[in-house]
Structure 1
Amino acid sequence: MKKVLIIFVLFLWFNDSIFSQGKFVVNNLKKSDKVQFKLINNLIIIPVEINDVELAFILDTGVSKTILFNYLNISDSLKIKDTEPIYLRGLGEGESVEALRSRNNKLKVGDAVDMQHELFAVFNDNINFAPRLGVPIHGIIGYDLFKDLVVEINYSRKFIRLTEPERYRYRKCKKCETLNLEFYNNKPYLNAYVKIDNKKIPVKLLIDSGGSDALWLFEDEELGLSHSEKYFNDFLGHGLSGSVYGKRSKLDEFSLNRFVLKNANVAFPDSSSISFAKKNKDRNGSLAGNILKRFNMVLDYQKAVIVLKKNSLFKHEFSYNKSGIELAHDGVRVVQEVDYKLNSNKGLIIEDTNKTNKIILNPSYKISLKPAYTIVELREDSPAERVGLQLGDVVLSVNGKAAHKHNLQDLMKKFYDKEGTRIKLVVERNRRVFTVYFQLENLFQ
């Protein structure tokens, strides 16, 4: 019988001491390379090649090993090598998931290459973050890349720069803050301050670029880490072992030395979802994408420092979902549309001179497959729930515009608008189409 390893993870938690590993080198004369990324829901999505197959990965400082999922349709071309079964456990209230530990793979990010890369391929079809982000995602990479290279992350211009440490040159920067990093299970931590009820409290936080929220704190009455009187229960995110829930609130201040953010979003996850996260007893929470994106930064694991500089996103107001629903891309719908590319045999289009009006005589139609957006989370007593929306409802249009004409992120942004904004949804449930109206609510007033 093959030996089965059980590895506990905090999105994802590994003990790396038992694993051999390869090394990233930059294969060009400069020993440095710039890689563009997409910023989706505050997450960094980078192109990654595994065994010469191009995929899309989340760049996540909160993981210590490379995770591959949503790959079954390309498994033949990937040809992952030297496999051994294991089980992984992550954030959320679900069970451990089966995976393969695979050694000696070629992994490439830009010109940075590791010829003996170890990764973990997850079998479970349900471990798929693509529906929540609206774009294909095949995995997560973190410590394996950061341990070998100095990584610059430019959130404002959406690129990372990977440089071999002996070639990296620090520039003088009066507007920068340099903070020391501490490591636990190969994950980076920094020290910061939060102000709650006018009390300034020191906290040790995991730097978690793979989280889309702003800040998570673990409740601790002795330290004063608890939500204010104004809070609400909400869906916080989706981890390897399922959904994470908790309380949303606001901080008076969050500070990293002289950089201070006021009225920042904060969430206090339920203890059942983060039991493995608390293995580091000194940890007080996570610093995630909605704060990290407000800085351009340099992460240097070998020198154990992070250099931060405010960028154009620093003063963006902290917002949150005021509707109570979360949508996910859920396959496709069949949509019938007028085909405007008509010829004389099929019909006639008459347009006025300013192109604003059309009269279609004998129109023809085309059938298309369009994205379907389904309600996958519904907050109790939210505006959306009170008008009768349910899990599984398919959103056909928002404020008069077909849902499939939006990408998922643009669609979700509408629910982060100002208090009182009126939302009109056309929804399908069990082949019945109906319309609902509600207004966005501010729960912190």
Structure 2
Amino acid sequence: MMKPTTLIAFALSALLSQTAQADLTASESKLVSHIDQSNPQALALLEQVVNINSGTMNFAGVKQVADVLIPEFEKLGMQARFDSGEAFNRAGHLIAEIHGGKGPKLLLIGHLDTVFEPDSPFQRFERIDEHTAKGPGIADMKGGNIIILQALKALHKAGELADMNVMVIMTGDEELSGRPLSLSKKALVDAAEWADISLGFENGDGNPKTANVSRRGSVDWSLKVKGVPSHSSQIFQDRVGAGAIYEAARILNSFYEELRSEDLLTFNPGRIMGGTTVKHDPVSNSGSTFGKNNVVAESAIVTGDIRAVSLEQLQRVQQKMCAIVARSLPQTSGSIEFGDGYPPMGPSDGNRTLLGLYSQASEDLGQGKVEAVNPLNAGAADVSFTAAFVDMAIDGLGMSGTAGHTVDETGQLDSLPKQAKRAALLMYRLKHQ
């Protein structure tokens, strides 16, 4: 059954017009007050989950974070569970839901895992000052998970949540996706097919004045090149040609010269190996080569990724890359393959309308306007797997912070209640459109 996209977009556009410059109603003020009153408990819960190592491959740790959060959802009258990720070699996902029948179907997206495995030196929550703390995954994105909970708790306290349609998915493999993606992202896609609206609580670019109406996708590529092995004194002769390494260099330089004019596109060769023999292990992202300076290289392998802002751009660039590879220097041949990856979340009118509603909520809270972030300043995220199925989506609603994915990662603690208020007010208004 097709979703009534036009109807929802029209209704939300009307809602945006109605709420412009509006003061908070009494019911909306109750949401805000509850978040302020419960903020100490939210900070304590944040510290608790940050102190649990949940590096993606620490399956027990990922599940332990879920085990802490599941009872919090159940207290709100939601059904909550942890779905095993055994089929895609990851811990699994937390899923919580409530189906009350009122308002649009909302999908709220977080993730349980971090980039910090048990052998990382960065393991504990540390208060820096009144407004700032360090900790593994504090902004990316355990803070975002707590914001989801705080917003839902406020709606529950106000008697609003019981008859809403909300599904929460916190994945256990956002930082290092399980394979195949068709299984590891199935819960997200299934939820998106049900939902009307997706709200992602990643930290975006870390600036509370921005949110994402688009995210670039990320797709891997692998280039394999063959040449004719021979004594180096014979290179460039008709029967020997240029060798595999020269051909790989030609291809990479052509990528650089012919593709970098594409707006919002990046393409990066992350690993290159060449010589007489090449052994490549894509699972461990490693390899080995053997070759001599006086031997023309027989093989070369290059791997990298493409980040495109739309599916159309991705397909166009892939076709150009294939054409470049096919040209070939003398006595060489190459092939390029594209792997699974994160799809683009392209900008849309629906996404911009939703951002407008979120921005209006922020202004009504006295927090100022929220604008769309430049897609170049945000990486791929789980919300992208939902974008093709919902009527509208935004991301970057999580906790502000800096230095994500490093041992200096910090979170802005005062952004926790601010972002929770924005999210709660947005969901309340979506319900009562």
TM-score by length of 2: 0.25
TM-score by length of 1: 0.24
Structure number with the higher helix fraction is 2
**More relative contact order in 1 or in 2 (CA 8 Å, sep 6+)?**
2
